């Protein structure tokens, strides 16, 4: 209950700050010839404040439409928006920069990324600290059976080893997406925890499949915080059924949200979260500011601060 109340308070705070910032922006930019920045959704206030200093914010409608983006100079989007050639053509030649408040840019459909300004690198660093803080927590959830404790509503029939799980001390943590350090096969064989944080590109789509799971330890924990499409979910399910892995924590799935009748929800050692690995006010404010500063640099024709 406390967490729920806390989240509600934080959400209302962000919305209130967004509305206040926009009202002040309208007053402060009256009569000034500023660049038009289209923001697709309400974003955290640190990003808005940065843009407010140099641009005229175009408030987002319910959905992106081609009329609303006409004549804009910059487009600030999130991973929930599909940005394609039609959007860019509708914006016209005035559009100089597109920035996304996300690590991935697979929502930029069929575009040459060289035409766009992407803040992927530094945003990844902004994500990194929060993701690393959250991933061990997810490991604890799946290895110490916290979810099952809630399912059984508390104490149940207590026994000395009831609901015991594996600790992190002495474990080998493998990270898929950190670099070419060992082969994928070696990574799978050695890892007690296999954490997936690679970008979704053609080479990584479905990379976590039955071949990978068959090489993993039967006691291993599989964690995905990158994109759902890097995992073959059917192969993951069968890896559970066949005892090839012990547990999994998924922050991302295909589709999102995953249907409630999906077989993965029936697995007692599979924890599925609604894409919230970076969900703190501090992290989202940092992400918003990073994307904003890169956008402003693009408008000026300068190198991004990344």
Percent of the chain past pLDDT 70, that is, above it, reads: 64
* Structural contact between residues 26 and 62, judged by C-beta atoms closer than 8 angstroms: no
Select the more confidently predicted residue: 280 or 289.
Answer: 289
Q: What is the pLDDT of residue 15?
A: 44
Kind plus residue range of the DSSP H or E element containing 38: strand 35-39
Q: Quick check: helix, strand or coil at residue 201?
A: coil
Q: What is the pLDDT of residue 87?
A: 82
Least confident interval from 96-105, 178-187, 279-288:
96-105
pLDDT in tens, 199-254: 888 899 999 999 999 999 999 999 998 899 999 999 999 999 999 999 999 999 99
Catalytic residues, by residue number, are 275
Kind plus residue range of the DSSP H or E element containing 49: helix 45-52
Select the more confidently predicted residue: 164 or 41.
Answer: 41
d(CA 230, CA 15): 33
pLDDT in tens, 55-92: 676 655 555 555 678 888 888 888 778 888 888 888 88
The number of beta carbons lying within 10 Å of the beta carbon of residue 236 is: 25
Q: In sequence order, what are the beta bridge partners of 194?
A: 174, 222
* Structural contact between residues 45 and 68, judged by C-beta atoms closer than 8 angstroms: no
d(CA 56, CA 299): 13
Kind plus residue range of the DSSP H or E element containing 74: strand 74-77
Instruction: State both tokens at 48.
Output: 């808005």
Select the more confidently predicted residue: 281 or 129.
Answer: 281
**Size (the chain), residues:** 306
Q: What is the pLDDT of residue 227?
A: 92
Q: What is the pLDDT of residue 286?
A: 87
Rg (CA), the chain: 22
pLDDT band at 185 (very low <50, low <70, confident <90, very high): very high
Is 113's pLDDT higher than 50? no
Q: What is the mean pLDDT of residues 114-132?
A: 39
Kind plus residue range of the DSSP H or E element containing 221: strand 221-224
Domains of the chain, each with CATH number or no CATH: 2-123+281-300 (3.40.50.720), 146-268 (3.40.50.720)
Please report where in the chains the tokens 């509503």 appear, as a residue. Answer: 153
Least confident interval from 128-142, 154-168, 209-223, 247-261:
128-142
CA atoms within 13 A on the CB side of 296: 19
Select the more confidently predicted residue: 245 or 138.
Answer: 245
């Amino acid at each position: 209950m406390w967490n729920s109340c806390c989240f509600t308070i934080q959400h209302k705070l962000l919305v209130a700050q967004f509305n206040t910032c926009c009202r002040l922006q309208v007053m402060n930019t009256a009569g000034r010839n500023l660049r038009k920045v289209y923001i697709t959704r309400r974003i955290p206030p640190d990003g808005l404040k940065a843009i407010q200093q140099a641009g005229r914010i175009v408030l987002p409608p319910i959905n992106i439409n081609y009329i609303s983006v006409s004549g804009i100079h910059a487009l600030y989007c999130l991973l929930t928006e599909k940005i394609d050639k039609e959007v860019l053509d509708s914006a016209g030649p005035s559009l100089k920069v597109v920035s996304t408040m996300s690590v991935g840019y697979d929502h930029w459909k069929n575009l040459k990324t060289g035409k766009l300004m992407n803040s992927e690198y530094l945003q990844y660093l902004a994500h990194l600290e929060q993701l690393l803080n959250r991933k061990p927590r997810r490991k604890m959830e799946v290895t110490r059976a916290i979810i099952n404790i809630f399912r059984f509503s508390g104490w149940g029939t207590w026994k000395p080893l009831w609901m015991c799980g594996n600790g992190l001390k002495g474990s080998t943590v493998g990270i898929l997406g950190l670099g070419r350090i060992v082969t994928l096969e070696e990574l799978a064989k050695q890892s007690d925890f296999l954490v997936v944080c690679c970008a979704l590109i053609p080479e990584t789509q479905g990379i976590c499949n039955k071949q990978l799971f068959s090489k993993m330890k039967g006691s291993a924990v599989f964690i995905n915080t990158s994109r759902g499409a890097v995992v073959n979910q059917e192969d993951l399910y069968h890896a559970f059924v066949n005892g090839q892995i012990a547990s999994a924590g998924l922050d991302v799935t295909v589709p999102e949200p995953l249907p409630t009748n999906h077989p993965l929800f029936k697995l007692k050692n599979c924890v599925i979260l609604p894409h919230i690995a970076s969900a703190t006010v501090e992290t989202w404010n940092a992400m918003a500011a990073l994307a904003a500063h890169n956008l402003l640099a693009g408008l000026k024709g300068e190198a991004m601060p990344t």
